[in-house]
Structure 1
């Protein structure tokens, strides 16, 4: 089998999606969810797991849609779990999605903490590290434009972050830049300001971490060995600068504001686009 190339982006390929049905209502919904998570996460990191009730015309129970980062993980899950009882009395039915329409994602950018999960699985906890080079409050640096467009009782809280990801043993260093903002009410209590300040900082760090990982590809072989490749745009010079040069070049106008949005896309919107082996589902084959 050819080695699989994995990028740190939202997985949209049909061969990475697994459909599980014939889930009985024997356990509570929460118990079923965590049982599925425990079983299927053994085969590789999951991007998402959706547990949904059967249609009203069907018997009481559930079905699940799981999305892996790797097609190999999806194949392993199918081979190991199809027709197996696992956590319930009757056997589950498991199938890899056969085809799908294009997902309605505007961006394939993967949130930072998911990038870390993938890196931990394929590289090991000690196989990589991250370092914050800069975390700078840049609020108010464009006050004139802001005051003309915003009410006087509101202001913008903005942070810029530069993160460096190092892949140990591969001599790979990748930097990412993230900017986040949030509208705050002036003259609000200190506790609310501190809470929003921490959230904006966290989001800026996660954005920068995501940008750094997007320049890295993982090549996974049958032997489970992993090679790493660095790929960057020709006009991306942030990795070539010294830290002193980087600090000197940080300018607000060079970056696009990222509004606070901790979501990663609504998988429920994509369920109608999934197609499985319908004859197999109907006939139990």
Structure 2
């Protein structure tokens, strides 16, 4: 059977393993190597046992793929792996009492996932535009901001990137907005540079959100474009898109669910 993977933070208990019986001198690197052999990991966290459980540690290992998590559980349960005593590995089955929010995946995580399933040369990104749109705000909003926060100013950058997956004939675009408030004590140029990079990272992440990976049982991967019909960013030509940005504020609002990311190049090939 095929499994569909999205470029989003994985949810669902079937993707998370509970690893019990880690010894006190456990190596995080050894744990990562043991489980990443079954597929890409979204996260891995090691915790100290509760006092009543005695010395030692346990870990929560989250995969993107349910199939990879099941394979890892079957292969690693009651095995010593990297230590003298065997581990107890089980799939987390506890259900949360409330629905989990679907969060976008950071751009560097998107790249890791794409590199694993598509290969380092299987995709590329291209910068279409990166513009300072701070001046699009209405004057009265600016005056209000000055009155309420006289020692700070607002930057707003918009970036649009194109994601290309040539083997599957897919091209899609993503938009990212960064709007940090710059304190008077901060270096303006440094803050502007950081805002540009953050907007570029968010744009790449947004482009990946429109892509679905269909992983077949034999390991082959198909790629599908999944986006609302008549997406204006994908439908417009580059000239039309740049002209639209110049005359209006797109009012794009994007969450930053897990903190800010490191720098990405404007154009990269993987």
> Per the shorter chain, which TM-score range?
0.7 to 0.9
Distance in 2 (alpha carbons) for counterparts of 1:66 and 1:208:
28
Corresponding residue of 2:266? none
Summarize the Cα distance change of 1:41–1:195 in structure 2 as closer, same or farther, 3 Å threshold.
farther
CA separation of 1:163/1:103 partners in 2, compared to 1, >3 Å: closer, same or farther? farther
**Residue number in structure 2 paired with 1:210:** 205
Q: Residues 260 and 167 from structure 1, CA distance in 2 versus in 1: closer, same or farther, beyond 3 angstroms?
A: closer
The answer to whether residue 157 in structure 2 is matched with residue 159 in structure 1 is yes
Residue 230 of structure 1 and its aligned partner are, at CA, apart by 0.5
Is residue 182–residue 260 contact of structure 1 (8 Å, CA) maintained in 2?
no
Structure 2 unaligned residues grouped into runs of 5+? 261-270
Alignment-derived partner of residue 144 in structure 2: 148
Q: Distance in 2 between matches of 1:163 and 1:102?
A: 38
The Cα RMSD (Å) is: 2.0
Decide which of 187, 190, 193 is 1:198's aligned counterpart. Answer: 193
Closer, same or farther: CA 102–203 of 1 in aligned 2, 3 Å:
farther
TM-superposed CA distance for 1:132, in Å, is: 1.1
Judged with a 3 Å threshold, the aligned counterparts in structure 2 of structure 1 residues 229 and 209 are, in CA distance, closer, same or farther, namely same
Aligned positions of 1:217-236 closer than 5 A: 217-236=212-231
The aligned residue for residue 168 of structure 2 is 170
Q: Unpaired segments of 5 or more residues in structure 1? A: 265-285
Alignment of 1:1-285 (within 5 A): 2-27=1-26, 32-101=27-96, 105-142=100-137, 144=139, 145-149=141-145, 150-186=148-184, 188=185, 192-250=187-245, 253-258=249-254, 262-263=258-259
Residues 103 and 257 of structure 2 are in contact (CA less than 8 Å); yes or no, is this contact kept in structure 1?
no
Q: Deviations over 1:170-226 (max 9, x none)?
A: 11001011101111123x46xx33332232122211211111111111110111100
Q: Is the 8 A contact 2:133 2:249 kept in 1?
A: no
Are 2:49 and 2:58, in contact at CA under 8 Å, matched by a contact in 1? yes
The Cα of 1:104 is off from its aligned counterpart by 6.4
TM-score by length of structure 1 reads: 0.83
Q: 1:6 to 1:107 in 2, by over 3 A?
A: closer
Q: Aligned partners of 2:198, 2:90: CA distance in 1, in Å?
A: 36
User: Could you tell me how far apart the structure 2 residues matched to 1:146 and 1:104 are?
Assistant: 39
